[in-house]
Structure 1
Amino acid sequence: MSVILITGASSGIGYQTAELLASQNNIVYGAARRLDKLNELKKYNVRPLELDITNEESIKSAVKTIIKEEGHIDVLINNAGYGSYGAVEDVSIEEAKRQFDVNLFGMAQLTQLVLPYMRKQHEGRIINTSSMGGRLVSYMGAWYHATKYAVEAFSDALRMETKEFGIKVSVIEPGGIKTNWGFIAADKLQKSAQGGAYEEQADKAATGMRKQYSSNMMSDPKVVSKAILRAVSSNRPKTRYLIGFGAKPLVFAKTILPTTVFDFIMKHAS
Structure 2
Amino acid sequence: MKNTENREKVVIITGASNGMGYEAAKTFAQRGWQVYAGARRVEKIPTDDGIIALKLDVTDSKSNHAFIQHVTAQTGRIDVLVNNAGYGEYGPVEEIPMENVRKQFETNFFGAVELTQLVLPIMRQQAFGRIVNISSIGGDVYMPLGAFYHATKAALQQWSDVLDTEVKAFGIRSIVVQPGGTASNWSSIAMENAEKNLHPNSPYQPLVQTVRAALSGNFGSSATSADLAQVFYKAATAQKPKPRYYNTFTDRLMVHTARAHPKLYIKFFNAVLKQMGKRRK
TM-score (norm 2): 0.90
Is 46-55 or 227-236 further displaced after alignment? 227-236
Check if 1:34 corresponds to 2:41.
yes
Over 3 Å counting, the alpha-carbon distance change for 1:81 and 1:244 in structure 2 is farther
Q: Deviations over 1:95-117 (max 9, x none)?
A: 11100000000110010000000
Letter aligned with residue 222 of structure 2: M
Q: Which residue of 2 aligns with 1:85?
A: 90
Task: Sort the Cα spacing of 1:183 and 1:245 in 2 relative to 1 into closer, same or farther, 3 A.
Answer: farther
Asked whether the 8 Å contact 1:223–1:244 carries over to 2, the reply is no
Q: Which SS does the other structure have where 1:76 is aligned? A: strand
Q: How many residues align?
A: 265
1:47 has 2:60 as partner: no
Partner of 1:210: 216
Structure 2 CA distance for aligned equivalents of residues 37 and 258 of structure 1: 40
Given the alignment of the two structures, is residue 23 of structure 1 paired with residue 27 of structure 2, yes or no?
no
Give distance in 1, aligned partners of 2:25 and 2:225: 12
Equivalent residues in 2 for 1:188-267, closer than 5 Å: 188-194=193-199, 195-212=201-218, 217-244=221-248, 246-259=250-263, 261-267=264-270
On the 8 A contact 1:18/1:28 being kept in 2, the answer is yes
Pairing 1:106-121 to 2, within 5 Å after superposition: 106-121=111-126
Matched letter for residue 265 of structure 1: F
Instruction: Write the distance in 1 (CA, Å) between the matches of 2:130 and 2:260.
Output: 33
Contact conserved, 2:23 with 2:225, CA < 8 A, in 1?
yes
Match of 2:181 in 1: 176
C-alpha displacement at 1:136, in angstroms?
Answer: 1.7
Match of 1:137 in 2: 142
Instruction: Name the SS for the 1:219 alignment partner.
Output: strand
Q: In 2, are the aligned partners of 1:177 and 1:245 still within 8 Å (CA)?
A: no
CA shift at 1:193, angstroms?
A: 2.7
AA of the residue aligned to 1:242:
Y
CA displacement at 1:244 relative to structure 2: 4.3
* 3-state SS, counterpart of residue 37 of structure 2: strand
Corresponding residue number in structure 2 for 1:98: 103
What is the match of residue 272 of structure 2? 269
Aligned partner of 1:8 in structure 2 is 15
Give the Cα–Cα distance (whole angstroms) in 2 for the partners of residues 248 and 231 of structure 1. Answer: 15
Compared CA separation, residues 140 and 266, structure 1 to 2 (3 A): farther
Q: CA RMSD in A?
A: 1.6
Q: Within 2, Cα distance between the matches of 1:60 and 1:190?
A: 34
- Seen in structure 2, the aligned counterparts of structure 1 residues 97 and 192 have a Cα distance that, compared at 3 Å, is same
Q: Which amino acid aligns with 2:130?
A: R
* Structure 1: tracts of 5 or more residues without a match: none
TM-superposition CA deviations, 1:190-242 (whole Å, max 9, x none):
332352111111111112212226x9x52111221111111122111111102
Structure 2 gaps, min length 5? 1-5, 274-281
- Tell me, in whole angstroms, the C-alpha distance in 1 between the residues paired with 2:212 and 2:108: 22
Percent of aligned pairs with the same amino acid: 36
